Amino acid sequence: MLTLTHFLVLSFLLFLIGAAGVLLRRNILIVLMSLELIFNAVNIMLAAFSYYSGNLNGTIFVVFNITVAAAEVAIGLAILVCVYRRRQTVYVDELDEMRG
Amino acid sequence: MEQVFFYIFAIVAVASAIAVISVRSAIHSAFFLAICLLQVAAVFVLLRFPFLAAVQVFIYVGAVMVLFLFAVMVLGMGRESFGEKFHGQSIPALITLAVLFVMMGLLIFSGKLTAPGGPYTEAALAHNTELIGRALYTQYIYPFEVVSVLLLIALVGAIVLVMRDKIRVG
């Protein structure tokens, strides 16, 4: 019998790995992929709560989440290609023009 | 039986997620991300949401992964050496992650995260694709339209951003 805790722990682990990728890696493409991992962790949690509470609102939010994530990836990668053309780098710590 | 499948999917998902952030070549990361997203789709099936699983496979494993692979190939990234992979803020980042780990672990295992009963019973949820469709086109019709406009904006925005020539106005 699967319980809510199973899904919560899986979601938590995926979120933590995604956060580690965002905070640790220098390559901005890997940072975007880690963002997708975080999105998926949140989606699992929404779907699990939706199922175990017998309420479909969470499921509909997962659908919207996936759509917004797709839009985010399209715009993020377009910005990334622009930045690469201008600066010839994909490392987040070299993109520090706006540093005060 | 269900539990066995859950553990298989969960272990593969976590292992491939770790591989995403730890392998050196960006294209390998992209493929490991595809494996992880497929496992998440399988988890949605275990939660008895076939519609979510289909959307996950179509949009994430289909569209988003193609975008990532396309970006990796356009940017032409090779392997990174170990020193190039991580940046200089690793120690504060690791402390933050450790605090996050402890806090979320305490939250989950305190037993306070429970799901309250909602309007649907488990038997009513058996045909949930129909229920999702009904809710999307009635109660959630306004967010649905907003999301479709958002997708249109993202489409136009992405094209405008990567266009090389300047747009002539007038």
Task: State the CB neighbour count (10 A cutoff) for residue B77.
Answer: 18
* pLDDT score recorded for residue B108: 85
Classify residue B14: in a domain, yes or no.
yes
Number of domains in chain B: 2
Which residues of A fall within a CB distance of 8 Å from B117? Answer: 53-54
Domain membership of residue B72 (yes or no) is yes
- For residue B4, give the CATH number of its domain: 1.20.120.1200
How far off is chain A from B3, nearest CA to CA, in Å?
Answer: 6
How sure is the predictor about B165, in pLDDT bands with cuts at 50, 70 and 90? Answer: low
Tokens 């949009």 — which residue?
B59
Q: In chain A, what are the domain boundaries?
A: 4-92
Determine the 3-state secondary structure of B79 from DSSP. Answer: coil
Same domain assignment for residues B64 and B137: no
Q: Check if the beta carbon of residue A86 is closer than 8 Å to that of residue A97.
A: no
CB A47 within 8 A of CB A98: no
Q: With an 8 Å Cβ cutoff, are B104 and A12 in contact?
A: yes
Q: Is domain A4-92 in CATH 3.40.50.300, yes or no?
A: no
Give me the domain span that covers residue B72.
1-80
User: Following DSSP, what letter does each residue of B65-95 receive, concatenated?
Assistant: HHHHHHHHHHHT-----HHHHB-TTHHHHHH
Question: Distance (Å, rounded) from C-alpha B167 to C-alpha B170?
Answer: 10
pLDDT in tens, B85-98: 677 788 888 999 99
Which pair of tokens denotes residue B128? 């949930």
Is there a domain that residue B99 lies in? no
Looking at the predicted complex, does its ipTM rise above 0.90?
A: yes
Predicted local confidence at residue B169, as pLDDT? 55
Query: Are A24 and B90 in contact, with CB atoms under 8 Å apart?
Result: yes
